Structure 1
Amino acid sequence: MNNRFIRLLIASIIIVIGLLLILQNLAVIDLDMNGIWPYTYAILFIIFGLKWFIDNLRNNGGSWIFGSFLFLFGFLLVLGEIGLVDFSFNDIVKLWPLLIIYIGFTIIGKPKRKKNYKFVVDTDEKKDNTVGKKNKHGNRFSIGDHQFAEPNWKVEPMDLFNAAGDYYIDFSKAFIPEKEIPIMINSWAGDIQILMPENVACCIDASVKAGEINVMGQTSEGINRKVYYETDDYQEATRKLMITLKLKAGSVRVDKV
């Protein structure tokens, strides 16, 4: 366990204790100093659970089973202490149905494609412009914003997965080869904004579980919304983009420039 995680752990505990004391001063919860300990070990369970779960996603050890269990257990303990649910440490036996769920996932097994995923936390927007070149070799599991807007960046097949973050893609600045190029973007939460030049044929299949879609003026918002758009010359064109956008929560916007 590296020093950075230890510092994060200590900082998280201090922050949580401070928040609890604020809630006590506002009379939201009734808390004495001896009552802080249940919150402390519950938060520790949550932090360690997230650590193990994320490490497993990054293929860096950890365990998604124990990680998710500790996270859920700690979260329920916090809700129990606040009084939102009837749950205490001794109620851990009530979580036995999780064993059935874990057995089910174990039978399914991990998909082979997982080997190609990389877990990336983006902190430098300039690095995002190289993502398109890397994705022809595999998929990416990432958190953060991505921009494709450098002059003359080359468009290649993409299959991107983003847990949380925004996409900004400007095809008007790109070099687009004379062929059909598939673009797949799948995201849990965030916004997708695309600028499409008028002289490039495209078909766009956009869907959101919760949010809004605006594709070339065609709009739809709410729950489980879909919009399909295809240029008139798509079938005959030699240079064209086949774009599929899937978003759990957020917005999709595609405009001509």
Structure 2
Amino acid sequence: MQTQNNRYIGLAIIVIGVIILINSLQIHAFVSRFLLPVIFVAIGLHFYRHHHRLLAGILFGLAIILFFKINIFGLIVAGLFIYFGYNMLKKEDPDDEYQNGNEKTFHTHQSVGNVKKSFIGEVHYTHARFDLEDLTIQQGIGDVKIDLTKAIIKDGETVIIVNGWVGDIDIYVPYDLNVSVDASVSFGDLKVLGQSEGGVNRNISIRTAQYEESSKKVKLILSLFIGDIDVRYL
């Protein structure tokens, strides 16, 4: 995990370094604003076709930054202010928590149960048996992998929500588990229990035949900006 984190941080540093280098060289405006973005998009499409979604997303981002002449440092500072301000607004008042008892609540309909957040890195539930509970994963850059064949599933409906920017989502489902899947991606491919979609703004909604009457079932709500979503039987 630490190696993966270092990899993503290293990629982010390289991106910032490339932007600084281009600005420092004072390249002709036509080259920096039009020619380089076209080159980055072409290279990004190559990586995208070969399933290197992370590298493709970084190159597309570079092209957008150069074409629109975005101030990357201002963007980073603005993002930090928005992030910390959002977290402050989201914190519960102690009195409200006391009134709600010991149950922790979340004030957005997009989150359920435990919430796991990661800006850069990977989230894996694949190495050992684990108790499956309602879970929300909010991922910036990186992959999410959940192996439900290793999960101890409680009675009733368990809801898993995964929201990501750039990366892949892989969910492995046992054949005897009833699931409902709502998967969407802005740029990428979807493979959900035998159904496939690819391209821009794709969505697949599917549920197993016995889902409603099943005593144990899992609802998956998955969304990505750039990347692939793969839900398969294992």
The equivalent residue for 1:212 is 189
Secondary structure in 2 matching 1:16: helix
The equivalent residue for 1:107 is none
Unaligned runs of 5+ in 1: 1-8, 30-42, 60-109, 117-134
For 2:193 and 2:148, how far apart are their aligned partners in 1? 14
Unaligned runs of 5+ in 2: 1-12, 33-68, 93-111
2:91 maps to 1:115? yes
The equivalent residue for 2:164 is 187
For 2:91 and 2:181, how far apart are their aligned partners in 1? 28
Which structure has more relative contact order (CA 8 Å, sep 6+)? It is 2
Kindly tell me the number of residue pairs found equivalent between the two proteins: 164
For 2:87 and 2:27, how far apart are their aligned partners in 1? 44
Deviations 1:16-51 (A, max 9, x none): 348855979xxx68xxxxxxxxxxxxx9x6336514
Q: CA RMSD in A?
A: 3.4
Secondary structure in 1 matching 2:73: helix
1:114 maps to amino acid: K
Deviation at 1:216, TM superposition (A): 1.2
The equivalent residue for 1:152 is 129
Deviation at 1:178, TM superposition (A): 1.6
**Is the contact between residue 204 and residue 228 of structure 1 (CA under 8 Å) also seen in structure 2?**
yes
Which is strand-richer, 1 or 2? 2
Q: Cα–Cα, structure 1 residues 17 and 200, in superposed 2: closer, same or farther, change >3 Å?
A: closer
Whose Rg is larger? 1
Deviation at 1:58, TM superposition (A): 3.4
For 1:178 and 1:237, how far apart are their aligned partners in 2? 9
Secondary structure in 2 matching 1:57: helix
Q: Runs in 1 of length 4+ with deviation above 2 angstroms?
A: 12-24, 45-49, 110-116, 135-143
Deviation at 1:141, TM superposition (A): 5.3
Deviation at 1:114, TM superposition (A): 3.2
**Is the contact between residue 114 and residue 135 of structure 2 (CA under 8 Å) also seen in structure 1?**
no
**Is the contact between residue 188 and residue 228 of structure 2 (CA under 8 Å) also seen in structure 1?**
yes
**Is the contact between residue 182 and residue 206 of structure 2 (CA under 8 Å) also seen in structure 1?**
yes
Q: Cα–Cα, structure 1 residues 115 and 236, in superposed 2: closer, same or farther, change >3 Å?
A: same
Secondary structure in 1 matching 2:221: strand
Q: 2:205 aligns with which of 228, 248, 257?
A: 228
For 1:251 and 1:14, how far apart are their aligned partners in 2? 27
TM-score by length of structure 1 reads 0.54
The equivalent residue for 1:251 is 228
**Is the contact between residue 114 and residue 134 of structure 2 (CA under 8 Å) also seen in structure 1?**
no
2:168 maps to 1:142? no
Secondary structure in 1 matching 2:76: helix
